[in-house]
Copies of this chain bind each other. A is one copy, B any other.
């Protein structure tokens, strides 16, 4: 029983209006169906030049013009939970116009730009694959790209990929890898008034924190982009009761490593940093980074088409570009919005970011409007 009509998206609308319409279709991870329906309908209605594939709540649209190269442009439809910040609003702050609301920055601005250009880029210099996917803001195993890469890797094959994650409308190449390690020290429990019969596990973490505090992180320059590594304790816990010497304490470490380093090399490095300490070290999560691959011809063409105002930098945070790198496809991040605003309650996107991203990509893809 649907009492409200299904939302309709007009891909030819002004890019700000289109972004607002997409933001206003709530799509917290797991609830992407309505937005996927609207995206699919817009593509089927307005883009005869595209093959449209619906796979779960992911929508893939492709040209088949027999061109030499294929570029994939991908954006996720889902958002983190709403924080009383829907529907979207508009405001002007310090002379800057902004669209405010959950998903405006991460990453419905990018989705709007891609949806509009999917419909309008009919004479692009390359074949195009547009991917609007679900479950990005949750566990990697649930990300629909995981399923599609396994079941239909051909759907994702391309010479170059652009991910519409927020980059403040600059290009951010590749991404660093990430690894989480649980580092546990053991001791012997005892009453805290008789510590000499015990062995304090929290105290055994002293040299771990000491080494992390003194750690000098590597800066790797790849294709002219600087990836700064980071090694940190992101969580620490231990303690049984206020009168007990704890027999166990754990620090959760997060190592962000340059994309020239494999997961195996990353693990070996952290173990070397902690060498000689009596600890249990368990990797709880890891993902390789992505090399920027800017010298690849398809990437070089894209960079050449950018105006002088577009900045070029390394992507420090891990993004789904690493999934494309794992498939052998060099990839960059390029999208409207400040990545530091992603997931915040005050999530917003400057209207100039929406317009410039649309303009730069459109120019490259031969859209003259």
Contact = CB atoms under 8 A, between A and B. Distances in A.
A254 B241 CA distance: 10
A317 B193 contact: yes
A234 B239 contact: yes
A205 to B, nearest CB: 6
A233 interface: yes
A8 interface: no
Given A205-B209, A236-B249, A242-B254, A228 B316 contact: no
Given A193-B316, A318-B193, A340-B191, A238 B238 contact: no
A256 interface: yes
Interface stretch (A154-162, A194-202, A272-280, A300-308): A194-202
Interface string A293-322: 000000000000000000000001110000
Contacts of A256: 192-193, 195
Contacts of A178: 193, 243
Interface of A is mostly: mixed
A260 to B, nearest CB: 16
A230 interface: yes
B200 A232 contact: yes
Interface in A190-247: 191-196, 200, 202-207, 209-210, 212-213, 217, 228, 230, 232-246
Nearest to A315: B193
Interface in A245-300: 245-246, 249, 251-252, 254, 256, 285
Number of copies of this chain that the complex holds: 2
B234 A237 contact: no
A70 interface: no
A243 B249 contact: no
B180 A203 contact: no
A176 interface: yes
A143 to B, nearest CB: 16
Nearest to A342: B191
Contacts of A205: 209, 236
Nearest to A192: B254
Size category of the A interface is 35 or more
A230 B236 CA distance: 23
Given A194-B316, A194-B317, A246 B235 contact: yes
A39 to B, nearest CB: 28
Nearest to A196: B228
Given A205-B209, A251-B202, A230 B192 contact: yes
Contact of A195 (B193, B232, B243): B232
Contacts of A213: 200, 203-204, 206
Contacts of A228: 194, 196
A360 to B, nearest CB: 24
Contacts of A239: 233-237, 252
Nearest to A197: B340
Contact of A234 (B176, B206, B243): B243
A230 B285 CA distance: 38
Given A191-B317, A193-B316, 9 more contacts: A192-B232, A193-B256, A194-B317, A195-B217, A202-B233, A202-B235, A204-B213, A209-B209, A234-B239
24 contacts: A178-B193, A191-B316, A191-B340, A192-B254, A193-B230, A194-B228, A195-B217, A195-B256, A196-B228, A200-B212, A200-B213, A200-B232, A200-B233, A202-B209, A202-B232, A202-B233, A203-B209, A206-B209, A235-B238, A236-B237, A236-B238, A236-B239, A236-B249, A237-B237
